[in-house]
Amino acid sequence: MDFYDVVIVGGGHNGLVAATYLAQSGLSTLVLEQQPHTGGAAVSQQVFPGVDARLSRYSYLVSLLPQKIITDLDLSLQLRSRSVASYTPVRRSGRDLGLMVERPEGAATRESFARLTGSDAEYDAWTAFYGSVGAMAEVIAPTLLEPLQSAATLRSRLDPALWDELVDHPFGESVERRFADDTVRGVVATDSVIGTFASLHDPSLIQNRCFLYHLIGNGTGEWRVPVGGMGAVTDALAFAARQAGASLITNASVTSVEVDGVRGSVTWLGGDGERSVDCSYVLSNVAPTTLDTLRGRDVSLKPEGSQLKINLLLSRLPALRSGDDPTRAFAGTFHIDEDYTQLETAYRSAAGGTLPAVPPSEVYCHSLTDASILSPELIASGHHTLTVFGVHFPARLFASDNETARAEATRRTLAGLESYLAEPLEDCIARDADGNLCIEAKTPYDIEESVGMPGGHIFHGDLQWPWSPDDQTVGRWGTETDTANLLICGSGARRGGAVSGLGGHNAAMTILTR
């Protein structure tokens, strides 16, 4: 076919969401993906040679994908709750302790706070804070699938004092006022710096936006495990898109996008050379700066990612110095050196151009909640996956020598984990068919190279508030560009960040409601 109603540039999960909605509505839809497979950063892959473990190689947990999208698109997808929300190993006065937050929180959580902090005050502050944030999430979550509301409208539906605290002032002020314990402060604060390079006191408030996105998914902010790995999300979406009648072409690297407000033309390089197709609408699932390049425009400000992702396969879970059960501790988010002052120290170090000496990171074990990503033999022999997400590793730290900086950042991060273990980490790491340790590390440069996210920024650019920035955009979808028939359907759309499908849904609705 030489003409489609809609051509989608990029077959990430968001492009597939958009394609399914549009094709279900009867529009002819073509998705062009440069990789041999769809999914972008939402994929499962066998990472270690000869080892039958399909890891969520990049993104790993799901919170922001609305149940409505799963239902609308009839996705065959299971998201499983973790039995533990988080565990933080702590060393105080020579003693190894742990702060355990169960899911749902019960008496053991209160006791854990009291044991660490000496009273009930921190846990009372915790329940009050998250209770208020939960009420805010319930109001904001449904609006993510609707045209943009104004900030004033949303504020009027919420506790105005909480709005002012979380939306108008640096998040660090809130954390410092509400909590006294450095570890508790850090556990609260980390949600504001995942994939976001900022001080807790950054005047831009990007850390506040990041915190909000981490807490509003489906009105609960719960992060769940995709059964079968993140690839299962993409597989379900690709199946739904094809079922709906969308055409998906892989190994198709788009080289140019032309739009005049009414018609569009997209050119790509594929197995059979250069091809072009005309269309009514172009949807961009690629980052906004990538789109600029495809339109022949200058890119002045490239995004900068700030994380180190390490994938590990263990032959067994390591014992902890605290004596706590590793099958509980690693089942939730395991915080390493993410105390509040450690986060700020690491930020300052990285902002000054130096790799953090004590890098904050968080770890989680997929296979404790869903073993289906491992072969029966690996399960039987006690193997487990471990995902490490290091924060405050901006791309600039890897600019001069990615290889050397990656090795050092990985060494420091794993040393941080090991400092809370009762045995050497290396003794617990499995080996691949070549005898190498099953460790893979990805810096922002590696992410850019492997999945095409500019600067390795996991959200295609800094997150934006999930409401209208001004009066003119109230009632729009946050997907619009300067040209009427060109829309952003990916992570770079307002409200598009993370594995959420929101960018795809909202771009499709922009067309379908016109």
Ligand X SMILES: Cc1cc2nc3c(=O)[nH]c(=O)nc-3n(C[C@H](O)[C@H](O)[C@H](O)COP(=O)(O)OP(=O)(O)OC[C@H]3O[C@@H](n4cnc5c(N)ncnc54)[C@H](O)[C@@H]3O)c2cc1C
Residues that bind ligand X (CB under 6 A): 9-15, 32-35, 40-42, 58-62, 64, 253-254, 285-286, 290, 309, 447, 451-453, 458-459, 490-491, 497-499, 503
Q: Nearest approach, Cβ of 270 to ligand X (angstroms)?
A: 10
Q: Which residues of 193-221 are buried (b: 16+ CB within 10 A; e: fewer)?
A: bbbbbbbbbbeebbbbbbbbbbbbbbbeb
First to last CA, the chain: 25
Q: How far apart are CA 148 and CA 129, in angstroms?
A: 26
Q: Nearest approach, Cβ of 164 to ligand X (angstroms)?
A: 28
Q: Give the nearer residue to ligand X in terms of CB position, either 34 or 485.
A: 34
State phi, psi for 4 to the nearest 5 degrees. Answer: -125, 150
Residue with structure tokens 């539906």? 157
Q: Give the nearer residue to ligand X in terms of CB position, either 58 or 113.
A: 58
Q: Give the nearer residue to ligand X in terms of CB position, either 267 or 419.
A: 267
Q: Give the nearer residue to ligand X in terms of CB position, either 19 or 166.
A: 19
Q: Nearest approach, Cβ of 127 to ligand X (angstroms)?
A: 25
State phi, psi for 29 to the nearest 5 degrees. Answer: -135, 130
Q: Nearest approach, Cβ of 61 to ligand X (angstroms)?
A: 4
Q: Give the nearer residue to ligand X in terms of CB position, either 44 or 109.
A: 44
Within 10 angstroms of residue 260's Cβ, the number of other Cβ atoms is: 11
Residues 6+ apart with CB under 8 A from 111: none
Q: Give the nearer residue to ligand X in terms of CB position, either 290 or 385.
A: 290
Q: Give the nearer residue to ligand X in terms of CB position, either 252 or 438.
A: 252
Q: How far apart are CA 197 and CA 212, in angstroms?
A: 15
Q: Nearest approach, Cβ of 440 to ligand X (angstroms)?
A: 11
Q: Nearest approach, Cβ of 42 to ligand X (angstroms)?
A: 5
Q: How far apart are CA 159 and CA 165, in angstroms?
A: 10
357 three-class SS: coil
Q: Nearest approach, Cβ of 50 to ligand X (angstroms)?
A: 24
Q: Which residues of 231-247 are buried (b: 16+ CB within 10 A; e: fewer)?
A: bbbbbbbbbbbbebebb
